[in-house]
Amino acid sequence: MADVNVALLVSQTVTEAQSQSRIKMGRDYASFYEAWAVLRQRIEETKRDAKALEKLHSELWDAIKDGRAPGTYPVSLAVQFVAMGLSTQEKLDTGTLDEVLTVHQYGVAMTILNASMRIMRISHIDMQRVLYSLTRDFDAMCRTAMRTPLEQMSNYAPMTDILAASHVKAHVRLFMG
């Protein structure tokens, strides 16, 4: 599984670097050889980063199994963001965690949309329309979240709790888990 992730990451890096090389060709690179040298360097950096992330994931998994760290989605995501440099104290201090909040919001939206596809007649195209309409508001939601003190944040969604409680006692379960 890890090899597949590394291969995918390298493939994405090559594609991105090739497109950047085409854009820069004739302006910044003296030759194709120089452009390919930069590409090779990017591939090696990506492989190094992927190995570091694999090591981090292994250490986190060991900590979860040993009870030294909670194995929750938010904790795992936070560890990943810190490792990727997306979540730093400087970004937290300046309120520029937009990437982190956007990934979280996207995850929440996709969780609900994937469940909707299983229980409703909604096509993948309709789902993409809904997701697109939601993502337009992500920037504003990120700014609001960054301005809101922790003391004022809550997860008040009583209807969700009521529906979840009635689902537990339902005769027919939609998702058996």
C-alpha neighbours within 13 Å on the C-beta side of residue 64: 13
Rounded to two decimals, the pTM is: 0.51
Helix (H, G, I), strand (E, B) or coil at 75: helix
Task: Encode pLDDT of 45-99 as tens digits.
Answer: 888 888 888 888 888 889 989 998 888 877 787 777 777 777 667 776 665 667 7
Q: In this predicted structure, which of 59-63, 98-102, 108-112, 129-133 has the lowest mean pLDDT?
A: 98-102
Residue 117 identity (one-letter amino acid): M
Dist. CA 80–CA 86, nearest whole Å: 9
Q: Are 112 and 126 in contact (CB under 8 A)?
A: no
